[in-house]
Amino acid sequence: MPSPLIRRAGALSVMCGLVLDACGKRMPSVGIGSKNFAEELLLGEMYARLLEHAGLPVQRKLNLGGTNIAMASIMRGEIDIYPEYTGTALLTQLKRAPLHNRAVVYQTVKREYRDRYHLTWLDPAPMNDTQALATTTQTAQRLHLFSLSDCARLAPQLRLGAVPEFTDRPDGLPGLQKAYGGFHFASIKLFDIGLKYAALRQGEVDVVVAFGTDGQIDAYHFVVLNDDKHFFPPYQVAPVVRADALAKFPIIAPTLNPLAPHLTDATMRHLNWRVDGNHEEPADVAAGFLASIGLVPR
């Protein structure tokens, strides 16, 4: 027979388990998702840590995949929050024509996501992970290649390195050809997103499709071509949240919104490079950054 002390300990364990179960039912966790690249992993981890610091239980479901997978997950209720880009929402999800005013794009996607999907966009960051074209300093100086107008004109002597969707998207090559004229490259090579800059550095291509907050831009001193006709739509990032999660946990918005002003192009390039270039863990980079700006304790 167990001793009275052991029986009491066992009874206490059962009671604790019941309390935890009850607490779990009263306060379910908030599901945080992300897409499958460094910037999204960083942002998802920041959201998770901020909410944990505010006292909410969090379940991380990061590295889900592309936009379609993340969107399907939040619509099914498998996650409650993930970072999304205004330009991606406008073009890929809503199938709208490109717009170029930041405020108009944000208000459009915020309204449409609320009405169609019962999803809420929180405050957007000033950073702009827009599409761009980039080249090396040497190529830019040799060819006087500094703007998209220059690139449109010089394209017949340039080799483009692109990610697959760039050749088909309305804000990609077809749109550039329509907006600028030209852009008929000598050749186009398609690369996985992580390999395009290596191809540029190794001289396999002359120009690559870039994104505004890529860490490699500053690390390798690449020249981002000036969008002198303002063709590319803005890609500001913001948390997208299920309306029922906001109703259940009203602290979500005032907890996550203070992060937005700190996410500038320069900041995200630096943080992305720490993950992509220095191979640091996104969770460690996110934690250090949040502490450095005073949103969580060190």
Burial 174-193 (b: 16+ CB within 10 A, else e): ebbeebbebbebeeeeebee
Q: Cα 220 vs. chain centroid, distance in angstroms? A: 21
* CB contact at 8 A, 231 and 79: no
> What secondary structure letter does DSSP report for 181?
S
Helix (H, G, I), strand (E, B) or coil at 122: coil
pLDDT of residue 7: 34
Give the whole-angstrom CA distance, residue 244 versus residue 153.
51
Q: How confident is the prediction along the chain (298 residues), in pLDDT tens digits per residue?
A: 344 333 334 433 433 443 444 444 456 899 999 999 999 999 999 999 999 999 999 999 999 998 999 999 999 999 999 999 999 999 889 999 888 899 999 999 999 999 999 999 999 999 999 999 999 999 999 999 999 999 999 999 999 999 888 898 888 899 999 999 999 999 999 988 778 999 999 999 999 999 999 999 999 999 999 999 999 999 999 999 999 999 999 999 999 999 999 999 999 999 999 999 999 999 999 999 999 999 999 8
Return the pLDDT at 13.
Answer: 40
DSSP state of 135: E
Distance separating alpha carbons of residues 136 and 6, to the nearest angstrom: 71
The whole-angstrom separation of Cα 20 and Cα 211 is 45
Q: Which amino acid is at 41?
A: L
- Backbone φ and ψ for 36, nearest 5 degrees, come out as -110, 45
Beta strand pairing call for 119-121 and 81-85: unpaired
* 208, 200 contact by CB (below 8 A): yes
Q: Which of 238, 235, 284 is nearest to 92 (CA)?
A: 235
Angle at 229 between CA 212 and CA 199, to 5 degrees: 40
Tell me how far the alpha carbon of residue 292 is from its chain's centroid.
21
The CB-side HSE value for 30 (13 A sphere, CA atoms) comes to 31
At residue 54, φ and ψ (nearest 5 deg) are -80, 0
CB 237 within 8 A of CB 105: no
Give the Cα separation of 35 and 62 in Å (integer).
7
Residue 210 CA to residue 134 CA, distance in Å, equals 6
In angstroms, the CA 236 to CA 130 distance is 8
- pLDDT value of residue 17: 41
- Domains of the chain (ranges; CATH) run 4-128+237-292 (3.40.190.10), 131-224 (3.40.190.120)
Helix (H, G, I), strand (E, B) or coil at 70: helix
